[in-house]
Amino acid sequence: MSSPLLLLAQTVSQFLQIYMVLIFIRILLSWFPNVDLYSSPWSILTQLTDPYLNIFRSFIPPLGGIDFSPIIAIFLLQIVASVVPQLLFSLA
């Protein structure tokens, strides 16, 4: 039988993986100027990802018109995705 901490570790890991995919989709869609990210059905995607991305946008300005903040955001999310489940597995 699985312990609650193992289940929590798996759930956190899966959530973070799904969230990274959502951020990648958000980034890819921003490359298409005819896609309005603030209209349906894409508005749900922006509502889910923009609060996290806006943290990094607030202190990483665009360079040459390119927003590098999602790169840092994904990098940090990957670190958290590898550290937190490992920590929870070790506690279980």
Residues 29 and 45 sit within 8 Å (Cβ to Cβ)? yes
The pLDDT of residue 11 is: 87
Q: Can you tell me the distance from the alpha carbon of 74 to that of 76, in angstroms, rounded to the nearest whole number? A: 5
The pLDDT of residue 1 is: 40
Q: What six digits make up the tokens of 18?
A: 């799904």
pTM of the model: 0.83
- 10-residue averages of pLDDT along the chain (92 residues): 75 90 91 84 91 92 86 92 81 68
Question: Which residue segment(s) compose the domain that 24 sits in?
Answer: 4-91
DSSP structural state of residue 60? S
The pLDDT of residue 92 is: 63
Question: SS3 for 63?
Answer: strand
The total number of structural domains in the chain stands at: 1
Q: Can you tell me the distance from the alpha carbon of 27 to that of 32, in angstroms, rounded to the nearest whole number? A: 10
